[in-house]
Homo-oligomer: A and B are copies of this chain.
Amino acid sequence: MKSVTESTTGCATVIFIDPPLRLACREALPEGTVVTVRGISIGGREIVVMAGPCAVESEEQILRTAEAVKESGARILRGGAYKPRTSPYTFQGLREEGLKLLAEARDQTGLAVVTEVMDARHIDLVSRYADILQIGSRNMQNFTLLEEVGRCRIPTLLKRGMSATIEEFLQAAEYVMKGGNHQVILCERGIRTFETSTRNTLDLNAVPMLKRHTHLPVVVDPSHGTGLWWMVPALACAAIAAGADGLLIEVHQNPAGALSDGIQSLAPEKFDVLMRDLRAVALAVGRTWLARAE
């Protein structure tokens, strides 16, 4: 992968990937991939924010949240219809009904939609409603899913596994690309460490490391990366300063009443404040920011 190992004291400064990446490596497209969906470019100069609830819960919830996040400047609506949950006895998502509600929210707001696909057999169904397919952390090495998503031509957001190394993450992207789907967005979402005060440890080292080794866009999910809503603004700003191309942020109308992940979801007013702060950081690091929705 790295034809040149820049070394200052004999140690490699890049990672050694074996076997080498063929499609995902930086050298394959030095100018960088820009994923385009509904006129939104991810991986270009503009910072793109994807926001919405952990799970789609009801028509009112998703519509009102969609309107709120659009109002604050988000370009893409997130929301889970199929939820991978640790226990079989917890809320598993509204499934197809949830997909329909997402599409309805898209129609009303013009936001693009990203939502998770957990099973290769659901790809067709999810693709009918979503603009971007999300492959979740727990499925980052579900190789049959990666291969099948690689066979379709829908932009794909691939989340890093919670204990995946950077190399494994890139190899997972290579699986998708090998199938022909080159519209892959990588998402750092925190890794599992010994620290227990936060849900995960957001690994912002991953941002420049990925940027150096691949041409794919890199976004960051500070909601899962911290697990605590009040920490999200600080880490969202940090992610942009570290060079991320966008963010994935959980926003809920009523975090205290959320069916899942309420503790890490921002209320719309707090999200709105964050978006103003993010704009200042984005401009400071030479990125552009959407004019706020009029």
Contact = CB atoms under 8 A, between A and B. Distances in A.
Given A86-B168, A88-B178, A285-B281, A201 B198 contact: no
Given A15-B197, A139-B141, A241-B242, 8 more contacts: A19-B90, A191-B195, A193-B201, A198-B205, A207-B234, A208-B230, A208-B231, A238-B239
Interface string A114-148: 00001111000000000000000011011110010
Interface string A190-205: 0111111110011111
Given A281-B241, A281-B284, A229 B195 contact: no
Interface in A204-246: 204-205, 207-209, 212, 225-226, 228-231, 234-235, 237-243
Contacts of A89: 19, 22, 174
B13 A229 contact: yes
A207 B136 CA distance: 27
Interface residues of A, number: 81
B8 A256 contact: yes
A205 B207 contact: no
Interface of A: 6-9, 11, 13, 15, 19, 22, 84-90, 118-121, 138-139, 141-144, 147, 162-163, 165-168, 171, 174-175, 178, 191-198, 201-205, 207-209, 212, 225-226, 228-231, 234-235, 237-243, 255-256, 258, 262-263, 265, 277, 280-281, 283-285
**Nearest 6 Cβ contacts at the A-B interface:** A163-B163, A284-B284, A241-B241, A238-B242, A138-B141, A238-B238
